[in-house]
Amino acid sequence: MELSNLFQGFGTLAASEPKIAIARIVLMLLGCLLVYCGKKNILEPLIMIPMGFGMTAVNAGVLFFSETQMGTLFVDPLASSTDEVMNMLQIDVFQPIYSLTFGNNLIACLVFMGIGVLADVGNVLRYPFTSMFIALFAELGTIVTFPIAIAMGLDNGAAAAISIVGGADGPMVLFTALMLAPEVFVPITVIAYLYLSLTYGGYPFLIRAMIPKELRGIVVKSSKGPNITSGQKIAFDVIACGLLSLLFPVAAPLFLSFFLGNGIKESGIAKYVELIDNVFLYWATFFLGLMLGVLCEASTLMNPKVLIFLILGCVALAISGVGGIIGGYLVYLINGKQFNPTIGIAGVSCVPSCAKIAHHEVQAINRRSVVLNYAMGANICGVITSAILTGIYVSLIPTL
């Protein structure tokens, strides 16, 4: 018996094209690095640890299906016909999770429902105009990146999907890519989640570069705002859900998931809150990371467009961060210089990471300055504006 058939992972590595073999080795090492970074909290552990394990295993576990075909027993993202899907459900171990949660965006809805349970829309109701104003500016990357992507040779669907990375909202990127560019959704989504984890490390430097220390330390005197009752929050949830679903039906499942999660939290149904927070959210987050990892086959990520996606994802997040800070500066000027412009970064909708980044950067300069209420208001409005932009892209792009 040939050793290549006995130890097929090594055999397929030797039989692969050199660039694929090298890419597999690099991705296995990258998977190990992601696990390490997750363990050390350098990157988000809830995503990076399962993703790293999956990335390592899928690039190691390639076997011979026949004399001419190699593959894995994890998942086939390109199975499309009924016969193909049924066949893959019986062969590939994670195919049912992919087909029944990724393929129909259910996993994005579950994550959004969990975000809704964690969110507090009271801060949006306390400071509605400030929060939404900042969030709109923080969508600058989502808007500006689209024509840049077209100029770099991407089609409308792929350009829209990579542009949504600027909203820093992983489920939105997943949703848009599956709807508009399913053939490249794997690299786009992987890049999006890798970059979203990097906001922890990148945005503090952007804040320090654009906002001097004396402005980062400004105390916002009216940070408490009026008291908002649970009834008012639930009323906002149901009205916003209905109105936004009317305006953008294509994103209605995402609106429903977010506002339903928040409505359940405010209603005080402890069992449902526990179910969504401790079961749905963690299940979805775990399998999201794991599925992203096992989708990272070397042959998939060797698509020449991946380099373009890497550049554009970085551009989108950077421009959105700059846009959010510009929005913060404008509120600072409108309010007679009685507002902390650092709050602007929280308009980028990576909840609650960007709000925490703003709060941490302010606290590092002035412990008396508490901006978390304003930051969370802008952060949650960022989720809403990201969903709105997603609805606009998904509705309009197919008609272009």
Structure tokens at 39: 């363990």
So what's the pLDDT on residue 224? 58
Give the DSSP per-residue string, 153-177.
T--HHHHHHHHGGGGT-HHHHHHHH
Q: Is the pLDDT of residue 67 over 90?
A: no
Confidence (pTM): 0.81
Cis amide leading into 352 (omega within 30): yes
d(CA 299, CA 70): 11
Residues 181 and 159: their CA atoms lie apart, in Å, by 9
Q: State yes or no: pLDDT of 104 exceeds 80.
A: no
User: pLDDT at position 3, please?
Assistant: 58
Cα Rg of the chain, angstroms: 22
Tokens of 144: 């500006």
Residue whose token pair is 């363990």: 39
- Separation between Cα atoms, residue 43 and residue 36, nearest integer Å: 9
pLDDT band at 1 (very low <50, low <70, confident <90, very high): very low
Which amino acid is present at 62?
V
HSE-CB at 260 with a 13 A cutoff on CA atoms is 15
108-164 confidence digits (pLDDT tens): 889 889 989 988 899 899 899 999 999 999 999 999 999 999 999 999 999 999 999
Q: Which amino acid type is present at position 251?
A: A
User: What pLDDT is stored for residue 304 in this prediction?
Assistant: 81
Determine the 3-state secondary structure of 15 from DSSP: helix
CA distances, 95 to each of 9, 32, 76, 283 (Å): 21, 23, 7, 16
Provide the 10 A C-beta neighbour count for residue 99: 19
Whether 291 and 186 have beta carbons less than 8 Å apart is answered as no
Q: Say how far apart CA 90 and CA 301 lie, in whole Å.
A: 25
Q: For residue 208, is pLDDT > 60?
A: yes
Q: What pLDDT, on a 0 to 100 scale, did the predictor assign at position 91? A: 83
Average pLDDT over residues 164-185: 86
Question: What is the Cα–Cα distance from 170 to 247, expressed in whole angstroms?
Answer: 22
Query: What is the tens place of the pLDDT at every residue in 218-250?
Result: 988 765 557 888 889 999 999 999 988 888 887
pLDDT at 329 over 80: yes
Look at the block and give the residue holding tokens 């019986």: 90
State what percent of residues in the chain have pLDDT above 70: 96
C-beta of residue 385 within 8 angstroms of C-beta of residue 349: yes
Instruction: Please list the residues that pair with 63 across neighbouring strands.
Output: 71
Q: Across residues 291-317, what is the average pLDDT?
A: 86
Which pLDDT does position 166 carry in this prediction? 92
Tell me the average pLDDT of the chain.
87
- Rounded CA separation 103/95 (Å): 10
Cα gap 331→275, rounded to integer Å: 39
Q: Which residue has the higher pLDDT, 67 or 378?
A: 378
CA distance 392 to 400: 12
Tell me the per-residue pLDDT of 2-56, one tens digit each, with 9 for 90 and over.
655 667 888 888 888 899 999 999 999 998 998 988 888 887 787 888 888 888 9
| C-alpha dihedral (236, 241, 246, 247), degrees to nearest 10 | 80
Q: Which of the residue ranges 79-88, 131-140, 178-187, 372-381 would you say has the lowest mean pLDDT?
A: 79-88
| Residue 197, pLDDT score | 72
Residue with token string 């980028």? 348
